[in-house]
Amino acid sequence: MIKRSFIGLFPPVLQYEELDITKTVDSIKTPESVIFFVDKEYSKKDSLLIQPGDKISAGDILSVFNDSEEVLVPSVTGEVTGIEAFSGNFGKNYTAVTVKTTSNGKVNKEFGKSFKKASGNSLNQIIKNFPGVVSETVLINSDKPVDSIVITGIDSDLLILNNQYIIKNRIEEVKAGISFIKKATGIDNFTIVVPESLASEAQSAGVSVKTVELTYPNASHMLITQNIMGRKVIAGKTTEDAGVKIINAETVAAIGAVSVKSGIPDSKLITVINKDGSTNLISATMGTPINTILSHLKIDVNERDRIITGGPLTGTAIYSDLHPVLPDTDAIMIQDREDIPEILDNSCINCGECVRICPANVPVNLLIRFLENGEYDEAADNYDLFSCIDCGLCAYVCQVKIPVFQYIKLAKHELTRNNTVEAENA
């Protein structure tokens, strides 16, 4: 369960889970059918370079659209059985490619060579298919002044153990990944951020190691940039704007494994958070439907239970257990219908708990008044909307059960979308 203690009366202190060194990974058998998402909205008018009926192999580097740089690197060999539109959260649209898998199928043995030869945006597009990826620009962005790379050996939400496990058990692959990234980017300044208990393992990678206390939200990328790297992130900007690129240890290990072994990065490490708060570490082929994992673990999902991808503070509920495992599916959390936090349409009572707990010092009690009324520009201009680091603590402590974090995410999405439309029409 979430570990919570109190200093005085307020605020609550939440602790990250610490890796149990005896923790083992349960491997999930590749299902008969998998689904991959391509980061482009699908239209029947699009000119497709692959079609239902086409045979593909694990490790192929496939361009799906004639007019897009996005590529698909399938983790399985099989036959394409469907290509259709998929609508995600906040208006995000994808192209879903369904593949019927073939057991003992051929693997593209040239993938490793192609990966090592790739550079610039082509390299980025390939790595976007790797496990652990959370960034649109994975390595190289010539528009940003990046001079330092941070590898996180701790996950940014509670109960998730993926990156700690990687540091503990795959540090040689992380080391190889660092070597590859140095050559690809020309950046030599690397730092690994881990809990104190994993400092010795991290040091064997031969780069700078910094430790963080297991107190939430210390693993926030914004806080790491500010508190560990000493760089200030301006509101509305990214860590890259401050010169720091942050990459998950899982992604770096995958890069290292391919660069050394020329294999296919086909499996995703996932923390499954059960209804009672206990956790399982599993490895699943990317594209595996979530219901396959739940069935393997014998987790029953009943009517009005909730399936969440991500952790308990910042995760997102999904509407179907057919949703596939994606590169950024770090956790799958199941909430029993009786345990789902109540959300009420109440007004702020100005108790101040959200203000006291906010690590970015945002005046949340004032901000929420404008967000509830859709006054997003006012919230951004005068009440520090874009200073929020998306930790979700405000919603966690709200006495009247206002979904503050969801309001903030919606506002950021709407403002970003409006700015994009205005830029395109300028």
Tell me the pLDDT of the chain (426 aa) as tens digits.
Answer: 454 443 334 456 799 999 998 889 999 999 999 999 998 988 888 889 999 999 999 999 999 998 888 999 999 999 999 999 998 877 788 999 999 999 877 899 999 999 999 999 999 999 999 999 988 778 888 788 999 999 999 999 999 999 999 999 999 999 999 999 999 999 999 999 999 999 999 999 999 999 999 999 999 999 999 999 999 999 889 999 999 999 999 999 999 999 999 889 999 999 999 999 999 999 999 999 999 999 999 999 999 999 999 999 999 999 889 999 999 999 999 999 998 887 778 889 999 999 999 999 999 999 999 999 999 999 999 999 999 999 999 999 999 999 999 999 999 999 988 877 776 676
For 121-261, CATH number out of 3.40.50.11540, 3.30.200.20, 3.40.50.720, 3.40.50.300 equals: 3.40.50.11540
425 contacts: CB under 8 Å, gap ≥ 6: none
Domain locations in the chain?
33-108, 121-261, 266-335, 353-425
Phi, psi (5° rounding) for residue 132?
90, -10
Cβ neighbours for 197, distance < 8 A, ≥ 6 positions apart: 18, 19
**CATH assignment, 266-335:** 3.10.20.90
Q: Which residues on neighbouring strands pair with residue 152, listed in sequence order? A: 193, 248
pLDDT of residue 423: 65
User: Do you find a cis peptide bond into 195, omega within 30 degrees of 0?
Assistant: no
Question: What is the predicted pLDDT for the residue at 418?
Answer: 83
- CATH code, residues 33-108: 2.40.50
- CA 276 to CA 1: how far, in whole Å? 7
Quote the pLDDT of residue 321: 92
Q: Check residue 6 and give its pLDDT.
A: 38
pLDDT in the model for residue 13: 77
Residues in the chain: 426
Q: For position 106, what pLDDT does the model report?
A: 84
Residue 212 sits at the vertex; the CA angle it makes with 211 and 215, to the nearest 5 degrees, is: 160
